[in-house]
C-alpha cells in the first residue's frame, strides 16, 4: 500500500456557547440551536438527510454534521462535525478547517435571539469531557488473530440476536406505556391546573408540541431507558471488549501506545484544571482505560471501539449485511486520545505522524521498544509536566521522557522513508515538521523558556504563553476563561485573534478552504457521496445518505448505492510548498 494513502477522518464535537439577549424570553434548547445552525448551513451548501440513528445531515463535500447527545430530554447536546474520508494529513486538515469555518460562521449567522458561537475544545468549565476522535483505515490483524476475530464474531451471533429481541420488546413496552399514559392523562387533565406540564411529564415535548424539540421522551423515562439499555447490553459489551482485547489490532495497539501516550507534548491543546494547574492536554487527564466503547460503560479509552458495538446492536439489525463487513481484514481504528487543535500545524502533525507510524507498523519495520509499565499513569504524568522533564518507567527497567519516546518514533519514520525513494513529498514534510517541533521542545526542556518558534504552532505552548502574560495571581475563573476562549470559533476567540494578527502558522489557503467547503476529496467514498448529494439534493428526488451507502427513492422503489468501491489513487506531487515552522515572518514576540 502506498505511504500515507489510507483513509483518514476526524470527528470533532463543538461545545455550544449561547448568551440570550437582554429581555429575551425562554432561551432555546441546544437542539433548537442545532436546528438554527443547520438551517443556516443549508443556505450555504447542498445537504442531504442522514440515514442514521442520530439527527444530522451530510454535506456536498462528503462530511456530516450531527446533534450529538446521550440525554436530549435532560437538555444536553453538542454539535458534532465529521470530515469526509480523506487521504493524507494535508487533505484532512483542509477539510477540518473548512468544517470549522463553515460551522463557526453559521452559528454566528443563525437566527436566534442571542449570541451563538461554537467552542472547539474538549472540556467545559464544569469538567464535562467531549472532543475529538481520529479514524484510520488499518489492518485489524493477520494469521490467528484475524481468524480468531472472525470466529468470535460468529460466536457472538446468538447473543446479538438476543439483544435484538430485547430491543424489539423494549420498543413494544414503550408503545404500551404510551397507550396506558394516554388512558391516565384523559381523566387527570380535568383534575389539574397545569395539564401541559402533566402531558410533558407523561409523553415528552415532541408529542405534546407535535414537532421535533430534542425531547422525544420524558426526562425520567429517558434516564430509565438509558440505564436499562446499559444493563441489558452489558453482556454483549463485555464479550465484544474481550474479543477485541485478544484479537483486534493487537500489534498496532501495542506498538502505537507509547507514541500516543507521549504525543501530547506535540499536539496537546493545554488545559487549566479544576485545581488551577496547567496540563499539556485537554482530554488526556480524563482517559481511564486503554480500550473501551467510548462511554457506554463510563469508559474514556485510548482506543475506542464503540463503532463495532453500534454495528452489532443497531446497524446490523437494520441491515444484516453490515455484520458481514466486520469480517474484512481492514477496519476502522478509532483513537480517542487526542485534542481538538486550533493550530493547523499541530493538527497536521496529529494526523500525519500517526498515519505514517501505521505505515511503519504494518510494514513490520518499527524497531523494538520496551512497553511502558503503567501507560495511563505515564500519560497523566506527561500531561502534568510543562517542563518536559518527567520520566516514566519501561518494562526493561529503563526510564524515558516524552521527548525521548517521540525521538524514537521520529527516527523510525526517518529510517523507513530513507529506504523508500518513492515516498511522497508529504511524508517528508511530516517528519521535517515533527523534527522542528521536537527541536523547539528540547530548547524548552533545557532553558525552561517557551520558544517563540512554537507560538502559534503548538497549542499548549501558545495557550501557556497567554496565561503567563496574564499573570499567575489572577483568579481561577479568569484563567479558565482564557483557557476556553482560546478555542472559540468567533472573531473574539483568542486563537482567532492571534490568527487575524498574523501570529500563527496557517498551512491552508483561503482558496483551498472555499473549495473544501463545497467539493469532496478525490478517490474516497466521499467522492461518490458528494456527487450524489450535488446531483439529487436540489430537486424533488427522495435522497438519504450515510457513511456506507446512498439511497435514492423511498420504500420498494428506492435504490441503494454502496460506497465501498472507490478508486485507489496514484500518488501525485504535492501542490503545496514544503512546510516549515521556521520559514515564516510572523513569529510571536512576547
Rounded distance, CA 57 to CA 99, Å?
A: 13
The mean of the pLDDT values for the chain is 90
Residue with the larger pLDDT of the pair 12 and 186: 12
Residue with the larger pLDDT of the pair 298 and 503: 503
Per-residue pLDDT averaged across 435-461, rounded? 95
Per-residue pLDDT averaged across 16-24, rounded? 88
Per-residue pLDDT averaged across 78-105, rounded? 96
Instruction: Identify the pLDDT of residue 581.
Output: 39
Per-residue pLDDT averaged across 442-461, rounded? 95
Q: Under 8 Å CB-to-CB from 301, ≥6 apart: which residues?
A: 287, 288, 289, 290, 291, 292, 293, 294, 336, 337
Per-residue pLDDT averaged across 46-60, rounded? 89
Per-residue pLDDT averaged across 374-384, rounded? 96
DSSP 8-state code for residue 315: I
Residue 564 has pLDDT above 90, yes or no: no
SS3 of residue 51 by DSSP: coil
Instruction: Calculate ∠ Cα 510-516-519, nearest 5°.
Output: 140
3-state secondary structure 418-458: HCCCCCCHHHHHHHHHHHHHHHHHHHHHHHCCCCHHHCCCC
Residue with the larger pLDDT of the pair 588 and 118: 118
Instruction: Identify the pLDDT of residue 72.
Output: 65
Residue 137 has pLDDT above 90, yes or no: yes
Rounded distance, CA 335 to CA 550, Å?
A: 27
User: Could you give the percent of the chain with pLDDT greater than 90?
Assistant: 72
Rounded distance, CA 292 to CA 301, Å?
A: 5
Residue 8 has pLDDT above 90, yes or no: yes
Neighbouring C-beta atoms of residue 11, cutoff 10 Å: 20
Give per-residue pLDDT as tens, 32-46.
Answer: 999 999 999 999 999
Instruction: Calculate ∠ Cα 523-341-275, nearest 5°.
Output: 150
Give all domains of the chain, ordered by start, each with its CATH number.
Answer: 7-141+248-287+336-518 (3.30.590)
Give per-residue pLDDT as tens, 463-508.
Answer: 999 999 998 889 999 999 999 999 999 999 999 999 999 999 899 9
Taken in order 240, 242, 248, 254, is the CA torsion positive or negative? positive
Rounded distance, CA 539 to CA 535, Å?
A: 8
Strands 301-304 and 114-119: unpaired
Residue 579 has pLDDT above 80, yes or no: no
Residue with the larger pLDDT of the pair 73 and 230: 230
| Least reliable range by pLDDT among 58-62, 291-295, 567-571 | 567-571
Residue 401 has pLDDT above 90, yes or no: yes
| pTM: predicted TM-score of the whole model, two decimal places | 0.92
Amino acid at each position: 500500500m502506498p505511504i500515507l494513502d489510507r483513509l483518514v477522518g476526524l470527528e470533532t464535537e463543538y461545545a455550544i456557547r449561547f448568551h440570550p439577549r437582554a429581555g429575551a424570553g425562554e432561551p432555546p434548547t441546544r437542539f433548537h440551536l442545532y436546528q438554527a445552525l443547520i438551517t443556516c448551513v443549508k443556505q450555504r451548501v447542498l445537504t442531504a438527510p442522514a440515514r442514521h440513528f442520530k439527527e444530522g445531515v451530510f454535506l456536498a463535500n462528503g462530511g456530516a454534521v450531527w446533534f450529538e447527545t446521550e440525554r436530549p430530554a435532560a437538555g444536553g447536546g453538542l454539535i458534532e462535525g465529521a470530515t469526509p474520508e480523506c487521504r493524507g494529513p494535508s487533505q484532512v486538515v483542509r477539510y477540518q478547517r473548512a468544517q470549522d469555518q463553515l460551522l463557526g460562521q453559521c452559528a454566528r449567522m443563525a437566527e436566534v435571539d442571542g449570541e451563538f458561537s461554537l467552542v472547539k475544545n474538549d472540556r467545559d468549565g464544569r469538567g464535562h469531557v467531549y472532543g475529538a476522535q481520529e479514524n484510520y483505515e488499518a489492518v485489524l490483524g493477520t494469521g490467528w488473530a484475524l481468524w480468531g476475530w472472525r470466529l468470535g464474531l460468529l460466536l457472538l451471533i446468538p447473543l446479538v440476536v438476543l439483544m435484538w429481541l430485547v430491543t424489539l420488546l423494549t420498543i413494544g413496552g414503550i408503545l404500551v406505556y404510551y397507550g396506558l399514559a394516554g388512558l391516565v392523562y384523559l381523566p387527570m387533565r380535568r383534575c389539574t391546573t397545569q395539564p401541559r406540564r402533566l402531558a410533558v411529564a407523561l409523553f415528552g415535548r415532541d408529542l405534546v408540541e407535535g414537532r421535533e424539540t430534542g425531547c422525544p421522551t420524558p426526562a425520567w423515562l429517558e434516564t430509565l431507558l438509558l440505564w436499562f439499555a446499559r444493563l441489558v447490553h452489558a453482556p454483549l459489551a463485555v464479550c465484544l471488549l474481550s474479543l477485541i482485547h485478544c484479537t483486534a489490532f493487537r500489534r498496532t495497539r501495542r506498538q502505537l501506545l507509547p507514541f500516543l501516550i507521549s504525543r501530547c507534548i506535540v499536539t496537546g491543546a493545554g488545559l487549566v484544571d479544576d485545581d488551577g494547574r496547567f496540563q499539556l492536554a485537554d482530554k488526556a487527564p480524563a482517559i481511564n482505560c486503554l480500550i473501551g466503547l467510548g462511554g457506554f460503560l463510563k469508559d474514556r479509552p485510548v482506543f475506542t471501539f464503540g463503532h463495532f458495538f453500534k454495528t452489532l446492536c443497531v446497524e446490523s439489525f437494520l441491515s444484516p449485511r453490515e455484520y458481514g463487513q466486520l469480517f474484512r481484514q481492514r477496519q476502522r481504528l478509532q483513537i480517542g486520545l487526542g485534542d481538538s487543535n486550533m493550530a493547523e500545524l499541530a493538527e497536521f502533525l496529529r494526523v500525519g505522524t500517526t498515519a505514517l507510524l501505521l505505515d511503519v507498523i504494518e510494514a513490520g519495520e518499527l524497531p523494538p521498544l520496551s512497553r511502558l509499565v503503567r501507560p495511563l499513569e505515564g500519560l497523566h504524568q506527561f500531561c502534568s509536566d510543562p517542563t518536559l522533564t518527567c520520566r516514566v518507567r519501561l518494562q526493561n527497567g529503563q526510564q524515558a521522557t516524552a521527548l525521548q519516546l517521540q525521538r524514537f518514533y521520529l527516527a523510525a519514520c526517518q529510517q523507513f522513508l530513507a529506504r523508500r525513494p518513492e515516498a511522497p513529498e508529504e511524508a517528508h514534510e511530516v517528519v521535517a515538521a515533527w523534527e522542528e517541533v521536537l527541536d523547539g521542545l528540547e530548547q524548552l526542556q533545557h532553558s525552561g523558556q517557551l520558544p517563540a518558534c512554537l507560538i502559534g504552532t503548538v497549542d499548549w505552548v501558545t495557550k501557556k504563553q497567554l496565561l503567563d502574560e496574564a499573570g499567575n495571581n489572577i483568579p481561577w475563573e479568569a484563567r479558565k476563561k482564557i483557557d476556553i476562549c482560546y478555542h472559540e470559533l468567533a472573531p473574539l476567540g483568542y486563537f482567532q485573534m492571534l490568527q487575524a494578527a498574523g501570529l500563527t502558522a496557517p498551512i491552508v489557503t483561503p482558496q483551498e478552504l472555499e473549495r473544501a467547503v463545497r467539493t469532496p476529496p478525490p478517490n474516497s467514498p466521499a467522492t461518490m457521496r458528494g456527487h450524489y448529494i450535488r446531483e439529487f439534493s436540489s430537486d424533488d428526488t427522495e435522497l438519504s445518505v450515510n457513511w456506507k451507502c446512498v439511497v435514492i427513492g423511498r420504500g420498494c422503489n428506492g435504490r441503494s448505492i454502496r460506497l465501498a468501491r472507490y478508486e485507489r489513487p496514484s500518488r501525485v506531487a504535492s501542490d503545496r510548498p514544503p512546510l516549515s515552522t521556521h520559514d515564516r515572518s510572523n513569529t510571536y514576540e512576547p
